[in-house]
A and B are shown apart, each in its own frame.
Chain A
């Protein structure tokens, strides 16, 4: 990391692959993923931490990438929607979202799915009430909430 703190060279481990890239001190992880690494599955909704569209896993934990500096992710492990299942296959949560019609426009969906994957890992999918509470960081302007809860419940049961 050079002394001036503005142009930084960082290394991220993204979806299992090591990626070196140059960023500004002020570049967010979201912008680094989308604009520098062209991983556009992660969406930008509010850019203020309020909608969850930009949710990724950082060292295995869900975070909003719009309020994370790329520099703070240096040397860490990032999983995006592109990395949750092997090429050409669906993750059980993705399959459940399709089966339950858990989206309309689809803009919030990558964030919903990343949050759901984390929530199931956290062991928080034991009731509909708990799913709703622990999915509350992901807003859906199309109002697909009922089907999202059904998809998460179903995926959690299948993954148990």
Chain B
């Protein structure tokens, strides 16, 4: 299984959103058909009824936008927007593995 934090292709890195939590809340909101400010960033996503398996799809968005390969279970291990954002921030800032 690919390891977290392995960036896919350094050459194609798109601009990384400055406010990761804001960006994530936007993605979650899209799945819930609502707006980003309606998302409490400290509430577990499951509370919104976001099916836990569906939350896996978030990792596709992350891969696309942040060019970070993350475990599909990211949203399980970091169940709130803020927790996930903090984790992603740390991963981005970590020097790329070979």
Partners in one complex: no
